[in-house]
Amino acid sequence: MKKLYYVYSTECQMKYLNSICSLRFWIVVGMAVFSFSVNCTMAATAAPSGLICELMGEPARTVITDSAPEFGWVVNSDIKDDIQTGYQILVASSRDKLDKNIGDLWDSGKVSSGESSNAEYSGKQLSSNTSCFWKVRTWNKDLQVSGYSDVQGFRIGTLESGKRDWTSWENRYPLVKRKVEPVKIVRNGKGHYFVDFGKAAFGTVELVLSSDSAGQKVEVHLGEKLSKENTIDRRPPGTIRYRKTTLKLRKGTHTYTVTIPPDKRNTGSRAIKMPGDVGEVLPFRYCEIVNCPSQLDKSDIRQIAVNYLFDDTASDFVSSDKVLNAVWDMCKYSIKATSFCGVYVDGDRERISYEADAYINQLCQYCVDREYTMARFSHEYLIENPTWPTELILHSVLIAWADYMYTGNIESMERYYDDLKAKTLISLAREDGLISVNTGLVTKDVLKSIHFDGKLKDLVDWPPASFTKDQKYGERDHYDMVAVNTVVNVFHYRTLVLMSKIADVLGRNDDSDDFAKQSVLVKKTINEKLFDKKRGVYLDGEGSKHSALHANMFALAFGVVPKEHIASVTEFVKSRGMACSVYGAQHLLDALYMAGEDDYALELMTATHDRGWYNMIKSGSTVSLEAWDWKYKNNLDWNHAWGAAPADIIPRRLMGVMPLEAGFSKMMIKPQPGTLKHASLNLPTIKGAVHVDFDASQNGVFILIVDIPANTTAKVYVPSFGKIIRFVLLDGVKRQGLVEEKFVVFTNIGSGKHRFELNVN
């Protein structure tokens, strides 16, 4: 028999409408040579990834009750400056059909569009209580087609119209239970063990215990704080948590799960209830087992931690400052740990959802995870279940705008448009535009329009001095709480600006014009009536002679301060230090970075005194506190996400990554390094991961490296450190940028990795 020898070579050529690969084969049979070629269509670009349905990356974990769900994906390409020019979505009733590229429910065909975040289903009518499957492929700027993405499944629930049931888990994830191993276990004495799980979490413990007889009682102590080494503080101050429970053992070896009894303080009528299948939880890091009848090692005990779905790998940050790194780690983890209810709440003391807490929580969530449903659910819950402070009512508009900018999705603000209009409190405006809840204009109709049944009161910050034990400390900087309040009106101004934008997006042109005109009036009146021209600072309100930090930092943060007064207001803000709460610190840091005070902002975030985030770590907590320290709020808890502001301030302000257009269709990258020598950030966005890295350690040379996902562009600000510099090396080529204050600016930087090098000597 003659031997066969196979040899082949490949010749490929790419064409625009599809990618054709021509394969030529040579077959050698003895001395004869035969050849033939085969043409096949191949993908020219990488398949899409990061699929989301109704903003969920794992929609099969729950059910969807939207009859026209929206799909999103991450466009992948190694081609610089690449964008999507088209897509095709297939939706099928079975995985088998989809594997055969049959979209029996919907085949969109090629849609010429750059939309990759909110492509609405437009196929056959979906049926209740069914499973569906979808995938997508895309065309790039050269009209080359990608392969299809992996398949994602989703389940349709009961498609019914009517009032939303806020106790259901539809359109968001059920809570996740994680088993956490101890990092340390110590035998304190006979039958007495101390266990450290490394980090505090909301949940309970599971133990494997052995007993020779039935009925033996074992004490289980859970707590957040130590009194001394290897000993839980059983009488902690404030609302720091400790709980003792007793287990009654059965004969033999069994697994026991400690049942946490409900607490009247956080299971009342306004509290968010834990789902029945999860049960009650307690925040704790430490466990002590007393009267344990058997030897206990690490394999015998687990912390059962409860939280909303969270991707620990979605974001990371590291810098040349160890304190800042520790603050970031603590604040990022706080967002995960405090998600135990599936709704943003104010920690464990009350478990009530508040708008100010939710706003900080929302911004932090967007910066640490590619997850949007918990923020949206919390926002919509609060629209219908608002709280009492005036500014918190106004917060709903800020939350709605952030939801839109980070997701690009209009559904929520469209559904609640009339509610958002009412939440501006424009109905309380005087002729000069200023508002107050203390001038008799709060009627039953006004309260009904904002879904509130109670008395509105101005907050400014919390707590006031009267709420601290010795009434010495407070977080309002001695604010003069007059009837027409500057902070309230600055918030009101901001809601008018944003409501004009919301109306414009939704095509409500007349409303947009009206809100814009009213915002101009309010800003003018604030600067005429609430500004002390001699001192160059804002007063606390109409008729007041006092100027607190808050009147000035909020004015600076929300764009009320005219250019000619920014310097005097900024200097006053800096003179007051951290004379605000952990909530106020969010807006203080925003204001400082907006004013270009990155050195001072970094100083505040890395402070090691008792008004800083590092003090929370020094106190022993692994989750952000409700206040700077116990003496500033004597009923504080150790598990409050409104104290986690650096989780969003570091990515948004220090590293400078924010959406310029909705859904990150265009982004800003504006690092303000302060005194940092280097820092690196990986930030999740709906368009994909953004990487920013800077190095300022090379003797006057500043290097900025950005990696931008496909299908978006960036406006990149390169810090010039006060020098007038126009030229920068961009990817090794000398390029001229625009000069804007302390930056050299480059617009429309496309996808891929780019290196900016600037010499400031």
Q: Are 557 and 618 in contact (CB under 8 A)?
A: no
Decide if pLDDT at 41 tops 90: no
Q: Any idea where the domains of the chain sit in the sequence?
A: 4-41, 49-156, 176-307, 414-605, 666-759
Give long-range contacts, CB 8 A cutoff, 24+ apart: 616-620. 616/330, 616/643, 617/326, 617/327, 617/330, 620/224, 620/225, 620/226
The residue to which tokens 């993908």 are assigned: 43
Q: Which residues contact 514 (CB under 8 A, 6 or more apart)?
A: none
- Rounded mean pLDDT, 224-238: 96
pLDDT exceeds cutoff 60 at 16 = no
| pLDDT score of 761 | 82
| pLDDT surpassing 80 at residue 32 | no
127 DSSP assignment: P
Got the DSSP string for 515-532?
HHHHHHHHHHHHHHHSEE
Is the overall model pTM greater than 0.85, yes or no? Answer: yes
Residue 465, pLDDT score: 87
Instruction: Give the residue-averaged pLDDT of 72-82.
Output: 96
- Residue range 520-540: mean pLDDT, rounded: 98
Is residue 33 very low, low, confident or very high in pLDDT (cuts 50, 70, 90)? low
Q: What pLDDT is recorded for position 466?
A: 81
Give the SS3 label for residue 377. helix
Calpha distance 636→684 (Å, rounded)? 32
Residue 45 pLDDT grade (very low, low, confident, very high; cuts 50, 70, 90): confident
Identify which of 178, 226, 203, 205 has the alpha carbon closest to the alpha carbon of residue 296.
205
Cβ neighbours for 445, distance < 8 A, ≥ 6 positions apart = none
Q: With helix as H, strand as E and coil as C, how does 608-663 read?
A: CCCCCHHHHHHCCCCCCCCCCCHHHCCCCCCCCHHHCCHHHHHHHHHCCEEEEEHH
pLDDT band at 346 (very low <50, low <70, confident <90, very high): very high
Tell me the C-alpha distance between 133 and 90, whole Å. Answer: 8
Split at pLDDT 50, 70, 90, the class of 344 is very high
Please state the φ and ψ torsions of residue 204, each to the nearest 5 degrees: -150, -170
Average pLDDT, the chain: 93
Q: Could you read off the pLDDT of 541-563 as tens digits, one per residue?
A: 999 999 999 999 999 999 999 99
Q: How confident is the model at residue 167 (pLDDT cuts 50, 70, 90)?
A: low
The pLDDT value given to residue 162: 53
Give the pLDDT band (50/70/90) at residue 468.
confident
Whole-number Å distance between alpha carbons of 369 and 309: 10
Is it the case that residue 46 has pLDDT exceeding 70?
yes
Q: How far apart are CA 641 and CA 334, in angstroms?
A: 6
Which pLDDT value is given to residue 467?
Answer: 79
pLDDT in tens, 242-275: 999 999 999 999 999 999 999 999 999 999 999 9
3-state secondary structure (DSSP) of residue 25: strand
Residue 44: pLDDT band (50, 70, 90) is low
Sheet containing 70-74: order of strands: 49-53, 70-74, 119-120
pLDDT digits over 645-704, tens only? 999 999 999 999 999 999 999 999 999 999 999 999 999 999 999 999 999 998 889 999
User: Which pLDDT value is given to residue 168?
Assistant: 60
Q: Could you tell me if 149 and 72 are in contact, meaning their C-beta atoms sit under 8 angstroms apart? A: no
Q: What is d(CA 632, CA 462) in angstroms, rounded to the nearest whole number?
A: 10
Matching residue, tokens 């902070």? 487
State the pairing for strand pair 231-232/226-228: antiparallel
Contacts 24+ apart (CB under 8 A), 65-70: 65/156, 65/157, 65/158, 65/159, 65/160, 65/170, 65/171, 66/171, 67/125, 67/126, 67/159, 68/120, 68/121, 68/122, 69/120, 69/121, 69/154, 70/118, 70/119, 70/120, 70/121, 70/409, 70/411
For the domain covering 666-759, report its CATH number.
2.60.420.10
Domain 49-156 annotated CATH 3.40.980.10: no
- Sheet holding 152-156: strands in order across? 106-107, 86-92, 130-139, 152-156
**CATH class entry, domain 176-307:** mainly beta
Output phi, psi for 385, to 5 deg: -135, 65
pLDDT band at 7 (very low <50, low <70, confident <90, very high): very low
The reported pLDDT for the residue numbered 163 is 55
Closest CA to 206 of 243, 168, 255: 255
Residue 586 parent element (H or E):
helix 582-594
pLDDT in tens, 606-656: 999 999 999 999 999 999 999 999 999 999 999 999 999 999 999 999 999
The amino acid that residue 217 corresponds to is K
pLDDT, position 1: 38
Return the pLDDT at 540: 98
- Residue type for position 88: Q
Question: Virtual CA dihedral for 431, 437, 438, 444, nearest 10 degrees?
Answer: 100
**What is the SS3 string spanning 270-324?**
CCCCCCCCCCCCEEEEEEEEECCCCCCCHHHEEEEEEECCCCCCCCEEEECCHHH
Evaluate if residue 6 carries a pLDDT over 50: no
Q: What is the mean pLDDT of residues 363-383?
A: 97
461 pLDDT exceeds 90? yes
pLDDT one-digit tens code per residue, 290-336: 999 999 999 999 999 999 999 999 999 999 999 999 999 999 999 99
What is the structure's pLDDT at 13? 35
Task: Return d(Cα 282, Cα 349) in angstroms, integer.
Answer: 11
* Pick from 687, 663, 656: nearest CA to 756: 656
Instruction: Give the Å distances, CA to CA, from 429 to 397, 496, 501, 518, 560.
Output: 17, 12, 20, 10, 18
pLDDT value for 10: 38
Averaged pLDDT, 378-404: 98
Give 745-756 pLDDT, tens digit per residue: 999 999 999 999
Query: Does the pLDDT at position 171 exceed 90?
Result: no
Is domain 414-605 annotated with CATH 3.10.105.10?
A: no
Instruction: Give the pLDDT score at 40.
Output: 46
DSSP string, 495-513: HHHHHHHHHHHTT-HHHHH
Per-residue model confidence (pLDDT) at position 164: 60
22 neighbors 42 (Cβ within 8 angstroms): no
